[in-house]
Amino acid sequence: MIPGATLSRWTMSYFAAALLFLLMAEGMLAAGLWRPSVDIGDPITLIIVHCVTIGWLGLLMIGALLQFAPVLTGVGLATERFNLPALIAIVAGLAALICGFAAIKNGSSAAGLTMPVATALLAAGLLGIGAVLFTGLWRGRSAHAAAPFVLLGIICLAVTVLLGASFALVLSGATDAPLIVDLALGAVPLHASFGLGGWMSLAAIGVSYKLMSMFLLSPDTLRTQMVLAGGASTILMLSIALFCLFSRRDVIEPLSFISAVVFLGTIAIYATEMRSIYRTRRRKTLELNSIGSVPAFVLLALSMAALVISMPLNAGEGIRAAIVYLFVFGWLTGLGLAQLLKIVPFLTWLEAFGPLLGRRPTPRLQDLIKERRASFWLGGFYLAVVSAAASIAVNTDAGFQISAFAQLICSAGLSFELFQVRILAHVDAVAKSSPFHQPALLIAKINSER
């Protein structure tokens, strides 16, 4: 291996599971299991939502952090032993959650058993691996300005999990404690805000600061602390709103609006930071992951601006659903897919050819992926997302289903490209001659095994 470069054994397994859940969710959307005319509180809708948020975005972010948290801090994680058990617990917990929602849909009493099991497994997996990541990031929190973003995001993850656990217990009928029931009835928007805006977005912002600078060979930016302060202020207001559920519910809506405005201002500063990273780069030719991330940044700003405008206008459920769809698939999913097109080749090259560097000629990193073909799928994905969001806004079921099917096809195309990268399908036989060792599809070999 290249000196100083270490690989996370299970990151590829997290990525593979995440992509499977993304395709599963998009497949359900394409099949018409949710349409703009369907209630977003329907149990089948909740299955799709959690396949995206926990299965796709959650596993993607955790897998990335297992690899890059030590890069952010210069300090290794306290332990690697919990990585696989956490993955198993999260996947099993999500499977149980899906079964629980299906049981609720069918009016089955099995929900009373499956939902508590799902809650226990998901809490153990998410909070356990969150604690491992938090400990490592805390020890090296001053090494890079991106680390505090992820730390704050992990705190939001814990809040999201605890709120989700209360909802699951109430929905399944496992508890009728007035305090928990009262919390579950009023905290759904805050559950989504802590999850999407706190955990996923703040962690994505933090990781993007490091990855974009690293891949573009750009210097660190100057206003990172302003973005962090804005993110922290947003989370503080959401936390106050959460506590007000038990006393002053009349102030929750104003607090939510103020937090959205603050977060929009934070995103505006973050956008200028990303622009600075692109403009000051030493890598003159932009690669696919860098070009493909630009629409994600644009859709982040657009969706947040639309949310802020929609709140005082009391926009309908369809408009807000379209905004959330654009945020989840345009910003979070788009950025994730774009960065996977760099991360997977990068880690695969390190594992396969890093040990051979200096001993014989090795292929270039960009030789591992067909960028033109991948760019077609990524561009199609963004177009499909925008079309799907527009269909939700105008309440067009047929238009949404067609767009969702196109989105599924493009996601499947990108997943296949990543599979091709991992098996080194585009590398010639000479480069793979002995003493070359083919990387395993889902498990990376660590230094001691080489």
Write out pLDDT tens, residues 413-427.
999 999 999 999 998
How many whole angstroms separate alpha carbon 419 and alpha carbon 404? 22
Residue 29 lies in a domain: no
How many whole angstroms separate alpha carbon 307 and alpha carbon 293? 21
Average pLDDT over residues 263-284: 92
User: In this model, does residue 329 exceed pLDDT 90?
Assistant: yes
pLDDT tier, 83 (very low <50, low <70, confident <90, very high otherwise):
very high
pLDDT tier, 4 (very low <50, low <70, confident <90, very high otherwise):
very low
Write out pLDDT tens, residues 18-30.
999 999 999 999 9
143 contacts: CB under 8 Å, gap ≥ 6: 72, 73, 74, 75
Residue 134 lies in a domain: no
C-beta separation of 369 from 341 below 8 A: yes
Residue 404 lies in a domain: yes
C-beta separation of 308 from 260 below 8 A: yes
Token pair, residue 88, equals: 């198993």
pLDDT on residue 115: 92
Average pLDDT over residues 68-84: 86
Residue 377 lies in a domain: yes
399 contacts: CB under 8 Å, gap ≥ 6: 387, 390, 391
User: In this model, does residue 3 exceed pLDDT 70?
Assistant: no
Distances (CA, A) of 107 to 32, 43, 59, 172, 289: 21, 11, 30, 10, 45
How many whole angstroms separate alpha carbon 450 and alpha carbon 448? 6
Distances (CA, A) of 394 to 7, 132, 178, 286, 404: 46, 44, 39, 36, 15
User: In this model, does residue 285 exceed pLDDT 80?
Assistant: yes
User: In this model, does residue 447 exceed pLDDT 80?
Assistant: no
Residue 209 lies in a domain: no
User: In this model, does residue 448 exceed pLDDT 70?
Assistant: no
Q: Quickly tell me which residue has 């972010």 as its tokens.
A: 61
Nearest to 25 by CA among 46, 51, 45: 51
Neighbour count for residue 301 (Cβ, 10 Å): 15
pLDDT on residue 146: 86
Q: At 137, which helix (H) or strand (E)? A: helix 111-139
Write out pLDDT tens, residues 103-135.
999 988 888 889 999 999 999 999 999 999 999
pLDDT on residue 449: 54
User: In this model, does residue 219 exceed pLDDT 50?
Assistant: yes
User: In this model, does residue 388 exceed pLDDT 80?
Assistant: yes
Number of domains in the chain: 1
Amino acid at 73: T
User: In this model, does residue 74 exceed pLDDT 60?
Assistant: yes
How many whole angstroms separate alpha carbon 146 and alpha carbon 125? 24
* Residue 436 or 449, more confident: 436
How many whole angstroms separate alpha carbon 200 and alpha carbon 178? 30
How many whole angstroms separate alpha carbon 252 and alpha carbon 72? 35
pLDDT tier, 262 (very low <50, low <70, confident <90, very high otherwise):
very high
C-beta separation of 383 from 299 below 8 A: no
pLDDT on residue 5: 56
DSSP state, residue 220: P
Q: What share of the chain is helix, strand, coil (3-state, %, to 5)?
A: 75, 0, 25
Query: In this predicted structure, which of 64-73, 129-138, 359-368 has the lowest mean pLDDT?
Result: 359-368
Average pLDDT over residues 315-319: 89
386-409 burial by CB neighbour count: b if 16+ within 10 A, else e? Answer: bbbbbbbbebbeebbbbbbbbbbb
Mean pLDDT for the chain overall:
91
Residue 362 lies in a domain: yes
Neighbour count for residue 95 (Cβ, 10 Å): 15
How many whole angstroms separate alpha carbon 111 and alpha carbon 115? 6
Query: In this predicted structure, which of 257-261, 283-287, 375-379 has the lowest mean pLDDT?
Result: 283-287
Average pLDDT over residues 203-216: 90
Token pair, residue 402, equals: 């067609």
Distances (CA, A) of 412 to 21, 299, 407, 408: 11, 22, 9, 6
User: In this model, does residue 2 exceed pLDDT 60?
Assistant: no
Token pair, residue 321, equals: 């659903």
Tally of CA atoms within 13 A in the half-sphere of 266 that contains its CB: 27
Q: What percent of the chain has pLDDT over 90?
A: 67
pTM of the predicted structure, to 2 decimals: 0.94
Residue 386 lies in a domain: yes
Write out pLDDT tens, residues 35-53.
998 888 889 999 999 999 9
Average pLDDT over residues 376-383: 98
C-beta separation of 355 from 408 below 8 A: no
N residues, the chain: 450
The gap between the terminal CA atoms of the chain, to the nearest Å, is 8
pLDDT on residue 31: 96
Write out pLDDT tens, residues 232-241.
999 999 999 9
Sign of CA dihedral 112, 113, 115, 116: positive
DSSP state, residue 295: H
Range of the domain at 392: 287-296+306-425
User: In this model, does residue 352 exceed pLDDT 80?
Assistant: yes
C-beta separation of 149 from 209 below 8 A: yes
Average pLDDT over residues 325-336: 97
pLDDT on residue 173: 75
Residue 75 lies in a domain: no
